[in-house]
């Protein structure tokens, strides 16, 4: 009777040995599996609670996605564009999102392939998980690289705030992971594949987080140069042919594509849509060393209140050194809480502890210190110069923060094994992943069960209902004097004239009537957005108002 039991035990040991062997060396299968799990995680969370755009950035990125799906880089200015003005988009010289095109391209991929833009974020998460594994292979043994990929997948912030919104941060993470992984490999020896990866990562950062990506790439490049200085410079020919030339080719192609996008949107190869938006609407500066700018008369009260109110509040809160330090400390606390939830913070502490011990060779200690220096300088370059810094602004830095956590977890495991020789080295990593997964599960349940009785869901439900009708619709949106500008209903598709539903601001009786005449074939509604339960009413010329100046 003991033979079947022994056979089962042998089979389990055999499967365990195969898994151990598979994880002990780099494998594209592991990268693919991590990507598949990340994709499934994102899709499952979205199906449990479908992502609905809420903040201005999300609507702007969705406009970019819809534009690309139309086969265009931008859209012509609408003849009645004043009615369709909104936040984080520009109307002249063309109708476009103000943001770089990276996030919009992935959303367009999801929209084109599945009909849902959020699917592009699932695909992006899959790429980021695989890239995270590849990056870590340049720094740690393969088993720990696989563990790092799982840490990314179960990270609550990456899955919920980045993976279930349309503004994300995962693209910046992907670009940062490619740059970090390439840097580690290029220090060892020049190779074309690493140079191409670094070039691609740099371009991805340029089309997602240009400023933070630029600073991050400079510091990673400096780390590579210091590494070469320590262990000997590569020979000239391999350095030129296997590093400089391929990287330059990728950067040149990416730069030309970005310049083409700029030209289409703004009419100038070197003028970003973001710059046009800032000149047109923004008073508060992006960076602390800049002064306030003057903007002409705003056409709409809500847009004026947003730029004179909330945007200026953050600037004025930093008008003295004590206020500046307090504001930056609060932002740093918020960002660290996002990137390093308790399990990751504990792991990072173990790495810091290791730096004060004598364990490890000088090469390892150099990389520990080098990565920490890059993290600290990147953090401060963004935190101390920009007026506001949200977690997704720091996305290029996230892979190195994850690397620090993996290093710390590995060091803690080695230390426990040294103190307790019978300790199974899998216990601590598994316990860590279980804690992180439990934290993700708790936050996911909170997210899934949160109220849908908010304006964004009201707008989404209204839009879904109208899109099922055979007739097209025009909705005049009216706000009262106490409306929150961050709750914006007026956002439209790339092709406003062909869209099933067009959202428009009230301006004045004459302009409103002209727009109604233009859309004479549509059913025209009035929405008073600040009513307790906003509902559509048939628009009547006698009910026109100029609440939104």
Contact 489, 460 (CB under 8 A): no
pLDDT (0 to 100) of residue 220: 93
Tokens of 66: 């819809």
pLDDT tens across 163-208, in order?
Answer: 999 998 999 999 999 999 999 999 988 999 999 999 999 999 999 9
Query: 118-137 and 28-48 are packed helices; what angle lies between their axes, rounded to 10 degrees?
Result: 150
Hey, which residues does 265 pair with through a beta bridge? none
Contact 387, 284 (CB under 8 A): yes
Tokens of 43: 């899709």
pLDDT tens across 506-526, in order?
Answer: 999 999 999 999 999 999 999
Q: If pLDDT is split at 50, 70 and 90, which confidence band does 273 have?
A: very high
Contact 166, 62 (CB under 8 A): yes
Contacts of 402 (CB under 8 A, 6+ apart): 132, 136, 148, 151, 152, 155, 344
What value does the mean pLDDT of the chain take? 90
| Average pLDDT, integer, range 4-18 | 53
Hey, which residues does 503 pair with through a beta bridge? 475
Tokens of 354: 């290791």
Please check the confidence at residue 352 and state whether its pLDDT lies above 60.
yes
Contact 235, 401 (CB under 8 A): no
Residue 152 burial by CB count (10 A; 0-12/13-18/19+): exposed, middle or buried? buried
Hey, which residues does 527 pair with through a beta bridge? 477, 536
Query: 273-281 and 245-266 are packed helices; what angle lies between their axes, rounded to 10 degrees?
Result: 40
User: Taking the C-alpha atoms of 157, 485, 208 and 179 in order, what is their torsion angle to the nearest 10 degrees?
Assistant: -40
How far is 360 from 453, CA to CA, in rounded Å? Answer: 55
- Spacing of C-alpha 416 from chain mean position: 36
Please check the confidence at residue 244 and state whether its pLDDT lies above 80.
yes
Hey, which residues does 537 pair with through a beta bridge? 526
pLDDT tens across 119-150, in order?
Answer: 999 999 999 999 999 999 999 999 999 999 99
Contact 462, 536 (CB under 8 A): yes
**Tally of CB atoms within 10 A around 233:** 9
Residue 75 burial by CB count (10 A; 0-12/13-18/19+): exposed, middle or buried? buried
pLDDT tens across 86-119, in order?
Answer: 999 999 999 999 999 999 999 999 999 999 999 9
Please indicate whether residue 160 or residue 381 has the higher confidence score (pLDDT). 160
pLDDT (0 to 100) of residue 88: 97
Q: If pLDDT is split at 50, 70 and 90, which confidence band does 548 have?
A: very low
> Can you tell me whether residue 52 is helix, strand or coil?
coil
Contacts of 439 (CB under 8 A, 6+ apart): 156, 341, 342, 343
How far is 61 from 11, CA to CA, in rounded Å? Answer: 51
């Amino acid at each position: 009777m003991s033979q079947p039991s022994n056979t089962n035990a042998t089979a389990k040991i055999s499967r365990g040995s195969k898994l151990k062997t598979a994880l002990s060396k780099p494998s594209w299968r592991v990268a693919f599996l991590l990507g598949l799990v990340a994709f499934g995680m994102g899709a499952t969370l979205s199906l449990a609670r479908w992502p609905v755009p809420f903040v201005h950035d999300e609507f702007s990125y969705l406009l970019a996605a819809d534009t690309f799906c139309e086969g265009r880089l931008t859209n012509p200015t609408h003849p009645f564009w004043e009615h369709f003005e909104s936040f984080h988009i520009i109307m002249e010289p063309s109708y476009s999102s103000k943001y770089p095109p990276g996030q919009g391209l992935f959303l367009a991929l999801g929209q084109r392939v599945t009909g849902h833009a959020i699917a592009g974020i699932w695909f992006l998460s899959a790429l980021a998980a695989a890239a995270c594994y590849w990056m870590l292979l340049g720094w740690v043994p393969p088993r720990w690289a696989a563990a790092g990929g799982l840490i990314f997948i179960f990270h609550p912030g990456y899955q919920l705030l980045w993976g279930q919104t349309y503004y994300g941060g995962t693209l910046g993470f992907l670009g940062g992971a490619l740059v970090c992984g390439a840097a580690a490999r290029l220090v060892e020896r020049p190779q074309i594949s690493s140079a191409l990866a670094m070039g691609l990562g740099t371009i991805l950062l340029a089309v997602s987080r240009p400023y933070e990506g630029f600073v991050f790439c400079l510091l990673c490049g400096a780390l590579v140069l210091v590494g070469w200085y320590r262990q000997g410079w590569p020979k000239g020919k391999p350095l030129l042919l296997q590093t400089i030339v391929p990287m330059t080719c990728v950067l040149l192609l990416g730069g030309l594509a970005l310049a083409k996008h700029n030209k289409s949107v703004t009419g100038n190869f070197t003028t970003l849509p973001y710059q046009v938006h800032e000149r047109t609407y923004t008073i508060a500066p992006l960076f602390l060393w800049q002064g306030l700018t003057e903007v002409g008369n705003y056409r709409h009260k809500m847009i004026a209140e947003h730029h004179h109110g909330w945007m200026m509040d953050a600037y004025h809160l930093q008008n003295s050194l004590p206020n500046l330090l307090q504001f930056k400390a609060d932002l740093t606390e918020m960002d660290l809480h996002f990137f390093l939830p308790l399990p990751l913070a504990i792991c990072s502490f173990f790495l810091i502890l290791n730096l004060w011990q004598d364990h490890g060779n000088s090469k390892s200690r150099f990389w520990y210190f080098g990565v920490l220096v890059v993290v600290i300088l990147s953090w401060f370059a963004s935190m101390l110069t920009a007026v506001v810094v949200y977690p997704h602004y720091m996305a290029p830095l996230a892979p190195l923060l994850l690397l620090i956590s993996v290093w710390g977890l590995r060091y803690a495991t080695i230390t426990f094994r040294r103190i307790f020789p019978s300790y199974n080295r899998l216990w601590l990593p598994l316990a860590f992943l279980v804690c992180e997964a439990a934290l993700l599960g708790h936050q996911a349940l909170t997210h899934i069960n949160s109220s849908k009785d908010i304006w964004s869901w009201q707008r989404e439900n209204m839009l879904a209902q109208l899109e099922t009708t055979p007739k097209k619709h025009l909705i005049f949106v009216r706000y009262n004097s106490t409306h929150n500008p961050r709750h914006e209903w007026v956002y439209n598709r790339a092709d406003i004239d062909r869209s099933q539903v067009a959202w428009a601001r009230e301006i004045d009786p004459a302009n409103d009537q002209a727009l109604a005449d233009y859309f004479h074939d549509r059913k025209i509604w009035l929405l008073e957005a600040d009513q307790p339960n906003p509902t559509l009413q048939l628009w009547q010329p006698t009910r026109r108002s100029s609440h939104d100046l």
